[in-house]
Structure 1
């Protein structure tokens, strides 16, 4: 089972035990493995980059889709693959690649969108024809038009043949791109150039042109995917901008209303505090509802913006010919929009916090007033109890007199009946019994009060 060998090292001898591979595999097979270990390990290998050879065309589309639309997108993809007798993606799969004729289809499912990338080798020599027959045109138009979800991003990429020389040629792309809005940069450590105008053209797609030197197909695939992700994340990050513009006038209105409530708190009479508190509570519920409705969207937009900036950093852009780079364009156009969104959500959070502090202040004031009212009520109850006690003591005094009267009358009747044997005047006996009976009754009542007092304590 074990083999031992003497291995000299620095004048000493160590014994090395080697375990057979079969025994090691058997031991690993008996280990208890975490149920999601394989899935978590394979996550870093999900959605690999494509190996792209020039020249070729790429068409990319991203669709906003909720859980139901994503399930429908999976069924829709399976229907296309079945028509071409191709393997189907597994249920719950988030990535699938299939070759449909000359077109390579790459399907991805993300948190709130699905994307379709169509890659076709070859490119027309005529510049105006680069985007005339796109890579997705070979896929059924009926299938493309019925893709579930709402189209949020669409891009074409034309990868020109590799440039063999050290000096870059002068490309006139005015036939396919808007020269006044041209954005370009050297990327991949100066090994490629990217051109775009970031405009939606007549076919509904934005356009990118990539020219590169003889770089590896995998590196070219990384470059193309980063460009597509930048544009996709840029559009997704802007989803919060319409909400920010919609919320801004509402925030001004709510802030003004809060200022009015604060003025009312300073100047109002204590008896109106409850009405002010109800008004403030209604404002708080409105603001919290607005925050809950839009918080997820603003948070997601911030994440998408960070991803877009990270992809731009990965490009290693360099400026050439004085043209604006992608990073500069994003800093100038996208960053202000995202700062607006960030300002609105911070403003909404600040308003919510101010309302909370104001509510606590007013609630404390109302509670103090209620405590004062409770003290007054308790004092009134104490006075009533004192009066009841005095009345009870008065009644008890009358009760002593009544009991003494009836008891002495009984004594008088008793001595009248026994006069023949005792020879005692009944009236005198009755008179002498009155103080004795009164004292006994009074002592009995006092002892009863003392026992009740002990029970209360």
Structure 2
């Protein structure tokens, strides 16, 4: 078989992917996730602005600052841990806390992102998630009872993943505070790295789902314009035929 030529960036990009570590998480844990798209031509933006916004957030907590050329960051932020990633058209922030509040999906958990900092982002929210990671109860009926309280039943989706390593659930609705809600019930013996991968993948799936829906909205907008053009073209052809 003839040798295939590799794209010149193949190994660099693959290394970049693996350089972005998954978090290691144990139950219980809370995660607050925010994905934003800078205003204007996001793909052509000044990436240094993203980095400055990260520095501003870390400075608010007196946390260590990232490298000058960072495209991802993972480290302590006060009593929290922050994971930050810079992508082509959006930027993500995930904050982890190894304590559960008394109120599930408390909007106050999102206050880890200070209001004045959010106001200065010059970006639009793609999605935000409050995620609750808890130990799996002995009986699945207990999960069902809990989910009835946490989510809207008619749109609730629940699945066991990775050979029953965890049960995940969401109703994929935006709650009154403006966030998606997701729950992970960790089975006994599931490792912290696996739980971290589950949580990160859930956030990624929600982000790319939201990004794809932005494309769908644009297509629908163009469809209306194409219908009008088609009608005008039919009228023009009819006039020429007459």
SS for the counterpart of 1:155 is strand
Give the aligned partner of residue 36 of structure 2.
63
Deviation at 1:201, TM superposition (A): 0.9
Query: Any gaps of 5 or more consecutive residues in structure 1?
Result: 1-34, 269-457
Give the aligned partner of residue 154 of structure 1.
128
**Structure 1 residues 37, 231: CA separation in 2 closer, same or farther (over 3 Å shift)?**
closer
Give the aligned partner of residue 66 of structure 2.
89
**Structure 1 residues 191, 168: CA separation in 2 closer, same or farther (over 3 Å shift)?**
farther
Where does 1:28-177 land on structure 2 (aligned, <5 Å)?
39-40=12-13, 42-65=15-38, 66=42, 67-68=44-45, 70-124=47-101, 126=102, 129-132=103-106, 134-163=108-137, 165=138, 167-171=139-143, 172=145, 173-177=147-151
Q: Answer yes or no: is the 8 Å Cα contact 2:82–2:96 preserved in 1.
A: yes
User: Is structure 2 residue 186 aligned with structure 1 residue 212?
Assistant: yes
Aligned length: 228
**Which has the bigger relative contact order, CA under 8 A and spacing at least 6?**
2
Name the one with the larger strand percent: 2
Q: Answer yes or no: is the 8 Å Cα contact 1:185–1:194 preserved in 2.
A: yes
**Structure 1 residues 36, 237: CA separation in 2 closer, same or farther (over 3 Å shift)?**
closer
CA RMSD of aligned residues (A): 2.6
**Structure 1 residues 45, 134: CA separation in 2 closer, same or farther (over 3 Å shift)?**
farther
TM superposition score normalised by structure 2: 0.82
Give the aligned partner of residue 217 of structure 2.
242
**Structure 1 residues 39, 244: CA separation in 2 closer, same or farther (over 3 Å shift)?**
closer
Query: Any gaps of 5 or more consecutive residues in structure 2?
Result: 1-7
Of residues 174, 196, 202, the one that matches 2:176 is: 202
Q: Answer yes or no: is the 8 Å Cα contact 1:194–1:210 preserved in 2.
A: yes
Provide the rounded CA distance (Å) in 1 between the counterparts of 2:239 and 2:10.
Answer: 61
Structure whose CA Rg is larger: 1
Where does 1:386-425 land on structure 2 (aligned, <5 Å)?
none
TM superposition score normalised by structure 1: 0.46
Where does 1:1-20 land on structure 2 (aligned, <5 Å)?
none
Provide the rounded CA distance (Å) in 1 between the counterparts of 2:121 and 2:69.
Answer: 18
